[in-house]
Chain A
């Protein structure tokens, strides 16, 4: 019994001593590792945090956005930075999951001490991270497209330099209804982005003389669209759809089998990241609303050329180095978001996050002219909802390429604001 106790005590003491040493060692190592890994607390560079969708369902957008944003910052630094300060980019992967993104956003702000955030393409992530922007007082430029992000789900720290679903639908609806077809069927992906498209189309079509005969919602990942497509009324002349990637491919394939007579109209999100020249007759003749033409020929400005050179994109919207089709019509927004931040810093004399309120006020109502910094075109950020308004481009697929049909002026896409962040305290 005594021996037993002694052996137990022996293990105890040794164990205890060992453990204490391990803890102390771990604490010391941890402290050093932390201070080594943590970026030096230098006041000089301006830090930009990027919440990229590098893996998961939106990996294609993440890749493209990261490419463009890195190029933007390289160019800014090459030209002397912002007010003499260099710009540093910190990237975290959202894994296209909201739960992960929420944690990574905090990490960017708390661990890397980023000054600004450029956000994810995923609307759900934007909505979940908006409150964090406010809680942690960090100005965030979201790039997702759900309208709510700069409406009821937004706040004074959130800005959006790209358009949203409501703006998109509104921009193209007149042309669609007057020139493409009068009687429509809408087919959308069965989640918030799709529903937004459906709602906005239904809202605006009648205002210009159009009629929506039927609306279909099809879940993401559906293998077979046929059972849904045979519900399309015979009188329908045009089909408006909101899908992307594999679903878009399956949809147009099945549409061609069921109703090859229908005229197609969709936002650029549908064929984004996909080489339309390989789609053949499935997509030929479709009308597409774009907000940044993929082919240089369709929007050949000196700024567009310079922009492509800076990022490494060829005249067909593909990455020069790898030949992959980028999501150019979306990725321009991170370039302009970065330049918007630059402009706001310069104009409000921003030095640190203490000056955020001045920076925000500067952005509210700011106007940008088409330039190398804003190659997409003139735009302004509305004060009340921090939403940018810009011109759009109505394209049509001709011989597999997206060709410009009509430039849609800024005024066509403006709708009344639903909120007023200027009344919000900081």
Chain B
């Protein structure tokens, strides 16, 4: 088993990813602004997708309520900046920590539930936050939301403004790279391998002496923190947050990306994000009801290749994730 796991070191992709990375870094300045904006969107959601993969793809916990942490991240950074005049790093840090705290509290309750009940309770938790966000308009602006002026990024002696699209772009790029590297390290670490073994056969992992609940909780928290991070970046990018950031549609998105891209691969959700955001960007113009396509895609992909596109390609080529 461990030899196979070594193959999980995504060796074939070790060429693709650096290439894409270089491309992204270099093109940041050269790209037309619309593509840059689209890429920023894709990058932020990639973080959200990767975070979801840790939960679903690597520890087999299917949640239909991650938008809870997305919203916490978004509002965390917004409210701190708006009401407490916090600087950007502090605001982001607090927002991510808040995600951690909520994940810990909710995770303790939820993680031990079986698949069906875990889903349902993830929805309940999400809905409670969503309804509260709608209700507490004094805090959240409710459905209309709140706009805010994003504080500058302090780096040493200089400070950079996200209102410069190029700065915004590299800011997000930094976090995408960081997220990928950190999560990859986690997956390759003993912790990651334990998670995979739990995913493959939970009972056996239990017999082998692993405290399954504890590891699932850890995965849950890690996922929540990075989801919160993506929320902060999104609020910063849009200079805005609303109760909609907590909505179930926001929770459905990472499910769709991970499904279509491929769960348990870390890059799968990124592929899913790219395909779906580009689809939405272009198709929504000439087919108003394009959501039918997305719905159909979800059903189809699940039938044809539950491991998504990346899984499909990998199986054809003989690589195992």
Contacts and interface: CB of A to CB of B under 8 A. Distances in A.
A and B touch in the complex (CB under 8 A): yes
Interface of A: 8, 11-12, 15-16, 19-20, 23, 27, 34, 37, 54-55, 91-93, 97-99, 102-103, 106-107, 110-111, 123-124, 127-128, 130-132, 135, 146, 153, 191-192
Given A110-B34, A124-B242, A128-B145, 4 more contacts: A34-B35, A92-B284, A124-B144, A191-B142
B188 interface: no
B295 interface: no
B240 interface: yes
Nearest to B3: A4
**How many of chain B's residues touch chain A, expressed as a range?**
35 or more
A15 B37 contact: no
B267 to A, nearest CB: 12
A124 B145 CA distance: 7
Interface string B105-148: 00000000000000000000000000000000100001111010
**Which 10 A-B residue pairings sit nearest by Cβ, starting from the closest?**
A124-B144, A111-B34, A110-B34, A15-B12, A110-B33, A16-B15, A19-B16, A128-B240, A102-B238, A99-B244
16 contacts: A11-B318, A16-B15, A20-B15, A34-B35, A93-B288, A98-B244, A103-B41, A107-B38, A124-B143, A128-B147, A128-B242, A131-B239, A135-B239, A191-B137, A191-B143, A192-B143
B245 interface: yes
Contacts of A124: 143-145, 242
Contacts of A12: 11-12
Interface of B: 7, 11-13, 15-16, 19-20, 23, 32-35, 37-38, 41, 137, 142-145, 147, 163, 238-240, 242, 244-245, 250, 281-282, 284-285, 288-289, 317-319
Contacts of A123: 144
B289 A55 contact: yes
A153 B149 CA distance: 12
Contacts of A128: 144-145, 147, 238, 240, 242
B319 A11 contact: yes
Contact of A54 (B33, B239, B288): B288
Nearest to A91: B285
Contacts of A15: 12, 317, 319
Contacts of B12: 11-12, 15-16, 19
Contacts of B34: 106-107, 110-111
A99 B242 contact: yes
Interface of B is mostly: helix
Contacts of B11: 8, 12
From A19, A54, A99, name the one whose CB has the most chain B CB atoms within 10 angstroms.
Answer: A99
Nearest to B148: A131
Given A12-B12, A55-B288, A98-B244, A127 B33 contact: no
B28 to A, nearest CB: 15
A134 B163 CA distance: 11
Contacts of A54: 288
A127 B289 CA distance: 26
Contacts of A111: 34
Contact of B37 (A92, A107, A127, A146): A107
A103 B245 CA distance: 14
Contacts of A127: 144-145, 147
Contacts of A92: 284-285
Nearest to B149: A131
From B19, B20, B240, B317, name the one whose CB has the most chain A CB atoms within 10 angstroms.
Answer: B240
From A11, A23, A124, name the one whose CB has the most chain B CB atoms within 10 angstroms.
Answer: A124
Nearest to B165: A110
A34 B34 CA distance: 11
A111 B32 CA distance: 8
